[in-house]
Structures are given as C-alpha cells and as structure tokens.
A and B are shown apart, each in its own frame.
Chain A
Amino acid sequence: MTNPIDAGGAAAVSTMPASAPLRVRRTNPIKEILRPLGQLLIFVLGSSIVMALITVALALILRPTRDDMDMLQITLILLPQVLIDGLVLGFMYATIALGYTMVYGVLEFINFAHGEIFMFGAFAGVELLLWIERTNGLDVGNLAAYGLIIVAIIVGMVISGLLAITTERLAYRPLRGAPRLIPLISAIGVSFFLQDMMRFMQSAINGDFYRTFPDFGPFGKRITLFSMPLDDRTIDIAIQVKSLIIIIVAIIMLVGLNYLVNATRLGKAIRSVAQDQRTSSLMGINVNRIIALTFLIGGALGGAAGVLFAFKFTRADPYMGFLPGLKAFTAAVLGGIGNITGAMLGGIVLGLLESFAAAYLSIFTNGAMGAEYKDILAFAILILILVFRPSGLLGSKTTQKA
C-alpha cells in the first residue's frame, strides 16, 4: 500500500542499553498535542510567507503595466485580509480532506460521497439552529450563542459520522473484494443519492431545497487585529468573530485527530490496518470495526466542516458538498493522500491559493480575468506541483508493502 496513514511517526524513545530494565514506551500526551500544533504553525507561516513573497514579486514585475494605480500598494493593502480569508478556507478544506485521506489510508479507496457526508452535517447543524429559533428564538446572550454553535457542530459531527458508517456498511463493505473501480462507482452513486435525498426532504418539508443559516450572536462582528497607516488614512486589518471560531474549531479537530491517531490504542490499530489488514487481524484487531471507525471519524470531521462552512457562507444546500469536496480531495492528494499531516498542509495551501487568486487575478491581469477564474489558477498551480511531486507534498516516494 502506498503511503499508509502516517502522521509523522510515534514519539521517539531514547535508546537504552541492553542491560537496562525494559520500559515500555508510553506516549507523552503533551508532546502529541504540541507537535501537530507546531506543524500547523509552520505550515501556516510557511505557506503564507511563500504566497506573500510570490505575490509581491509579481506586483513588482507587473507594476509598469498599469498606470491607473500603484499595483504594489494595492497588493500590500489587500495582503493581510487575503491571507486571513485564505487560512479560514484552508482550515475548512483541511478538515474535510482528513476524511478522504483517512479512508484512503486504510482502504486505498476514495470515498467520493464524502462531500455529501459534509453536506448532511451542514444541514444537521442548520436545522438544529432553525429549530431552536422556531421554538425558543435565538435572541440569546453571547455565551449562549457560542454554546449553540458548538452544539450545532457536535450534532453535525454525529449525523455525518453515523451517515458515513452507514454508507460504508451498506454501499462499500459488500464490495470490499470487488475490483477497485466498483466501490468507486458505488461511491459516486451514493453521492447522487444523498444529494437528491436531501433535496427531496428539504423540498417536501420546507418547500425550498436550501436553508439559510440563522443570523444570531456576535459572530458578524469584526475584531481589528492591527491598523496600517497609509498616506493620510489608516486601514484596519480585521477578522470576523465567525472566522476566528472556524479557525479555532478546525485547529482543535486537527490536533485532536493527530492525538487520536498517534497516541491512542485505536490510533495504533488504525495505523496498523492501514499498513496490512491481514496481519492486523492476526494481532487480534477487528479490522471491519477499525474500518467502520475510520469512516466514523472521517465523517465526523466532515460534518464539523459542513457546519463551519454553512456558518461561514450562511447557507446549506444539497449541492454544497460538490466543490468543497472536490477541493478537499485535491488538498488531500496535494499533501500526499493517506498522510494526515499532508492533508492539513494541502488544505492550507489550497485555501491560500484560492484566496490569492480571487483577490489578485483581476488586478494582475488588468481586469482580463476576474475572481471567477480563481479555481483555474489554483488548480493549474496544483497540477504543476503534482507534476514535480506526484506523491504529493508530504507523500512518501517509495511504495512500501509488507
């Protein structure tokens, strides 16, 4: 199997002399939390700096092409906001990408219905909040509003996790021994089925197939991070409370998953099933259960991302899973599919690429290409990266199989 789930290896142990009494390696929980945090920090800073430098360089090069504005100045003014937006998007992609990468890690199977699992999570969260709005109203204090968002996320995770397990059981497990293409087709079928099922349910119950995320709490407020003096004005660089919540929740998810995979018994079982199912079963591991749990975990992460997405873009609709799903899958491949750390990096890079393309394309091309071309640019760069690193940014280049 190529690139089994690899979250950076287990904690290192000092080599001990042969005569020393044997100490079983015990994972240090603090270390298992700090390590992914550190990695995320490096990824965020690293890709932000690279993107910013490239953009500034482009602005300097292209500056003479436009005399109606100072391209460098505009680029710099936009930069902080573009970075923040890109990171918010990137963290959401990373959270979704983990679902693809974990399932791929254990089954070498791409769960194309993961975008729909994500969509169900979004609806679950939105429906819950709408229901609370109808019954009690959402005119609540700040603290309660935060609490409600957390609850909505948890409900989204539960629904998506259960849905993921159900699809695995009904649509994938019976095809486990079939040629590779067959479960893939099944996944595409599940994807359409779930889209239409949601559309049908929403149309039947609500008369319309999309739902709007209720507007409540202090989430629209903007927190000014810093102010830039510019000529005679100052420009505030701000982040929406909403975006801050998204980033924090996503970081908790990513770190939590790393901990689970690297420092728990379940994680050990997941890693070994990813390497060799048959041998894992000879170790006493219930492989089917571990696979189901992998779907549960990936689905739950997707559900959380779904609620965050609906929160950010204030809407849930049956087709909302398609593009983010495709992009998160791309992020997973970009990072090195099967590799958890890679999915996080891939998500962040993709989010930044998209945000930069949206902001600067029209400026740099003198309006010839607008923000609507952002995906073309983002994906062109992805293809370029993959041409040079086919196994992804963090994917191992060797195939290893016992």
Chain B
Amino acid sequence: MGITLQTTRKVDAQGDGQLLLELDNIHTYYGKIHALKGISLKVNKGEIVTLIGSNGAGKSTTLRTISGLLRPREGEVRLDGKNMANVPPHSIVEAGIGHVPEGRGVFPGLTVLENLEMGAYLLRNHSELERRLENVFSLFPRLLERMQQKGGTLSGGEQQMLAIGRGLMQQPSVLLLDEPSMGLAPLLVEEIFNIIDRLNKEQGTTILLVEQNAQAALQVAHRAYVLEVGQISMSGLAADLLHDPRVSEAYLGL
C-alpha cells in the first residue's frame, strides 16, 4: 500500500549530518535468548531513520535497549557521544531520548490532558508546558476534542496519536517510534505517516522509526536499516532500499 505524503521528501536529505545517536555492537539478551547480536547503527540530527524487519527480528528490543528498559550485555549506546548503556530509563529520558513504545502505553485511567502532562513530567515551567500542549493539539486536533476523556476510552488511532503527542511533550532530541501504524485503518496509517513527516520537516524532530509497514516507512525516511533475527542485514538510503529487489521481495510483498 502506497502512502501519499503531503510534502515531498528529497531522497538525499540526511539532516545536517551531525551524529546524534549511535549504537555500537549492541548485544541484548532476554535471559538466555540472544535477541540482539551486535547491532550498530547511527542516527544523525534532523534525520528520520527507519528500522524495518519482520516480526520477532528485534526491532522493539533495539528501541528498549536505547531507552534503557533493557540493558545490553555488550556494546554501547551513545547519545551525543556519551555512553548511555547503563543509565536508568528515567535519566535517559532526561538526556533527551523519547520512546513511544509498542502498544502505545497510554495511561488508561488518566485523561488525555493528564497523559500529555505526564509526557512533560520533567518540565517544571508552566508556560513552556502550555506551549508544548498547544503544539501537540495543533498537530492532533482530535486530542483537543477528547481532552477530558480517559486514555483507556480512546480508539486505537487516537491512542496512537496520544502516545506520539505525549512523546512530543518531552521535546526529545530523538524520538523513538515503535510501530506507530500497528493495528490502524489505512486512512489513519496515512495520517500518522504524514504527521511523522511534518514533525521532521516543520519541527526538525529527529526520529528513529520502527515499522513492519516497510513501504510507508521507507517512503518517509531518509535512511534505513533492515534487521533480521537480531542482526543488521542491509542499510542505506531509504530510497535505494525501496527499490532494492531483496527488500521488495522480503518486506514489501511485491
């Protein structure tokens, strides 16, 4: 399924090329299960980088390792050159990595507004909080309408918007998105990818996007990595991978 982006992507754009986030030979385990077997990848400032791969390849595990929910047994996660591999998740958030987890993680018992406020938990400046809220509501007008509704009562698409909006409330230097299109109707999928595109273009947000919807992800991203059972099997410009027969065969269902 093709995605029509409202803006057009220059395929060679790669931000300003300044290295922001780097994974260096990451090995992560679940008990005895060796889920990541030496992952190395880079995200530059201003880029959208996508990590595609089939179910169980280790995409979510990679994001969890970056955000500190999992500890790598080996390797380094560097943000602005600083190793984050053994920093607890709350400090990683503070350092500027925002993670919108798989399954969204909306607080069901908190209202939409309270959920968004939780995103800015570390922020103590009220006017800045209001500014960020306005920004999120301008991107997701639907959230404004549902402001007083409990997170648990939202539809899947609205919950995804809330989860992304809450991630934006952190104003992270890099936003990790884990399968934002999962379980959404095609029209909503398109809307979500458009938002991702706008975030990057209009607000300069750096994004590491994990997707099973490889086609859409490759269309929106600058660069891409393909993950296969815990290892990077391919990487390059998203536009190149989009037309690479190996990718089309395995991930685009062509």
In the complex, what residue of chain B is closest to A265 when comparing beta carbons? B121
CB < 8 Å neighbour of A400 from B89, B117, B148, B152: B152
Given contacts A18-B141, A282-B101, A400-B152, is CB(A6)–CB(B109) below 8 Å? yes
Tell me if A24 counts as interface (CB < 8 A to partner B).
yes
In the complex, which residues of chain A have a beta carbon less than 8 angstroms from the beta carbon of B35?
none
In the complex, which residues of chain A have a beta carbon less than 8 angstroms from the beta carbon of B119?
283
Question: A256-286 interface mask toward B, CB cutoff 8 Å, 1 = contact, 0 = none?
Answer: 0000000001001101100110111111111
In the complex, what residue of chain B is closest to A286 when comparing beta carbons? B90
Determine whether the beta carbon of A402 is less than 8 Å from that of B105: yes
Determine whether the beta carbon of B89 is less than 8 Å from that of A281: yes
> What is the CA–CA distance of A373 and B78 in the complex, to the nearest angstrom?
67
Determine whether the beta carbon of B108 is less than 8 Å from that of A400: yes
Determine whether the beta carbon of A24 is less than 8 Å from that of B133: yes
Tell me if B60 counts as interface (CB < 8 A to partner A).
no
> What is the CA–CA distance of A365 and B170 in the complex, to the nearest angstrom?
66
Q: Chain B's nearest CB lies how many Å from the CB of A365?
A: 46
CB < 8 Å neighbour of B90 from A6, A25, A285: A285
Question: B80-117 interface mask toward A, CB cutoff 8 Å, 1 = contact, 0 = none?
Answer: 00000000111001100011010111111111011001
> What is the CA–CA distance of A278 and B67 in the complex, to the nearest angstrom?
11
> What is the CA–CA distance of A276 and B148 in the complex, to the nearest angstrom?
20
Given contacts A22-B130, A24-B117, A24-B133, is CB(A286)–CB(B88) below 8 Å? yes
Determine whether the beta carbon of B147 is less than 8 Å from that of A15: yes
Q: Chain A's nearest CB lies how many Å from the CB of B107?
A: 5
> What is the CA–CA distance of A142 and B67 in the complex, to the nearest angstrom?
58
Determine whether the beta carbon of B113 is less than 8 Å from that of A25: yes
In the complex, which residues of chain A have a beta carbon less than 8 angstroms from the beta carbon of B130?
22-24
Given contacts A10-B114, A281-B90, A282-B99, is CB(A276)–CB(B105) below 8 Å? yes
CB < 8 Å neighbour of B69 from A276, A278, A401: A278
Tell me if B12 counts as interface (CB < 8 A to partner A).
no
In the complex, what residue of chain B is closest to A6 when comparing beta carbons? B109
Tell me if B250 counts as interface (CB < 8 A to partner A).
no
In the complex, which residues of chain A have a beta carbon less than 8 angstroms from the beta carbon of B105?
276, 278-279, 282, 402
Determine whether the beta carbon of A284 is less than 8 Å from that of B170: yes
Tell me if B32 counts as interface (CB < 8 A to partner A).
no
Determine whether the beta carbon of B129 is less than 8 Å from that of A283: no
> What is the CA–CA distance of A288 and B88 in the complex, to the nearest angstrom?
10
**Restricting to B5-45, which residues have a CB under 8 Å from any CB of A?**
none
Determine whether the beta carbon of B108 is less than 8 Å from that of A275: yes
Tell me if B234 counts as interface (CB < 8 A to partner A).
no
> What is the CA–CA distance of A10 and B249 in the complex, to the nearest angstrom?
52
> What is the CA–CA distance of A11 and B170 in the complex, to the nearest angstrom?
24
> What is the CA–CA distance of A400 and B151 in the complex, to the nearest angstrom?
11
> What is the CA–CA distance of A288 and B93 in the complex, to the nearest angstrom?
15
Determine whether the beta carbon of B121 is less than 8 Å from that of A283: yes
In the complex, which residues of chain A have a beta carbon less than 8 angstroms from the beta carbon of B94?
284
Question: A361-402 interface mask toward B, CB cutoff 8 Å, 1 = contact, 0 = none?
Answer: 000000000000000000000000000000000000000111
Determine whether the beta carbon of A22 is less than 8 Å from that of B99: no
> What is the CA–CA distance of A327 and B14 in the complex, to the nearest angstrom?
65
Given contacts A269-B121, A278-B101, A400-B152, is CB(A284)–CB(B113) below 8 Å? no
Determine whether the beta carbon of B93 is less than 8 Å from that of A284: yes
Q: Chain A's nearest CB lies how many Å from the CB of B35?
A: 17
- The number of residues on chain B lying at the interface, defined by a beta carbon within 8 Å of a beta carbon of chain A, is 42
**Restricting to B124-181, which residues have a CB under 8 Å from any CB of A?**
126, 129-130, 133-134, 137, 141, 144-145, 147-148, 151-152, 166, 170
In the complex, which residues of chain A have a beta carbon less than 8 angstroms from the beta carbon of B144?
18
In the complex, which residues of chain B have a beta carbon less than 8 angstroms from the beta carbon of A286?
88, 90
Determine whether the beta carbon of B69 is less than 8 Å from that of A400: no
> What is the CA–CA distance of A279 and B170 in the complex, to the nearest angstrom?
13
Determine whether the beta carbon of A283 is less than 8 Å from that of B108: no
In the complex, which residues of chain A have a beta carbon less than 8 angstroms from the beta carbon of B170?
283-284
Tell me if A13 counts as interface (CB < 8 A to partner B).
yes
Q: Chain B's nearest CB lies how many Å from the CB of A267?
A: 12
In the complex, what residue of chain A is closest to B122 when comparing beta carbons? A284
Tell me if B118 counts as interface (CB < 8 A to partner A).
yes
Given contacts A15-B148, A18-B141, A285-B121, is CB(A402)–CB(B113) below 8 Å? no
Determine whether the beta carbon of B121 is less than 8 Å from that of A275: no
In the complex, which residues of chain A have a beta carbon less than 8 angstroms from the beta carbon of B110?
271-272, 275
Given contacts A22-B130, A284-B93, is CB(A276)–CB(B118) below 8 Å? no
In the complex, what residue of chain A is closest to B99 when comparing beta carbons? A282
Determine whether the beta carbon of B69 is less than 8 Å from that of A275: no
Q: Chain B's nearest CB lies how many Å from the CB of A389?
A: 20
Determine whether the beta carbon of B107 is less than 8 Å from that of A13: no
> What is the CA–CA distance of A30 and B98 in the complex, to the nearest angstrom?
35
In the complex, which residues of chain B have a beta carbon less than 8 angstroms from the beta carbon of A282?
67, 69, 89, 93, 98-99, 101, 105
CB < 8 Å neighbour of B93 from A13, A16, A23, A283: A283
A/B interface sample: 21 pairs, CB < 8 A: A10-B111, A10-B114, A15-B147, A18-B144, A24-B126, A268-B117, A268-B121, A275-B109, A278-B69, A279-B101, A282-B93, A282-B99, A282-B101, A282-B105, A283-B121, A283-B166, A284-B94, A400-B108, A400-B152, A401-B108, A402-B105
- Which residues of B line the A interface, CB within 8 A? 67-69, 88-90, 93-94, 98-99, 101, 103-111, 113-114, 117-119, 121-122, 126, 129-130, 133-134, 137, 141, 144-145, 147-148, 151-152, 166, 170
- Which residues of A line the B interface, CB within 8 A? 4, 6, 10, 12-13, 15-16, 18, 22-25, 265, 268-269, 271-272, 275-276, 278-288, 400-402
| Nearest 8 pairs of A and B residues by beta carbon | A279-B105, A284-B93, A281-B89, A284-B122, A286-B90, A283-B121, A283-B118, A275-B107
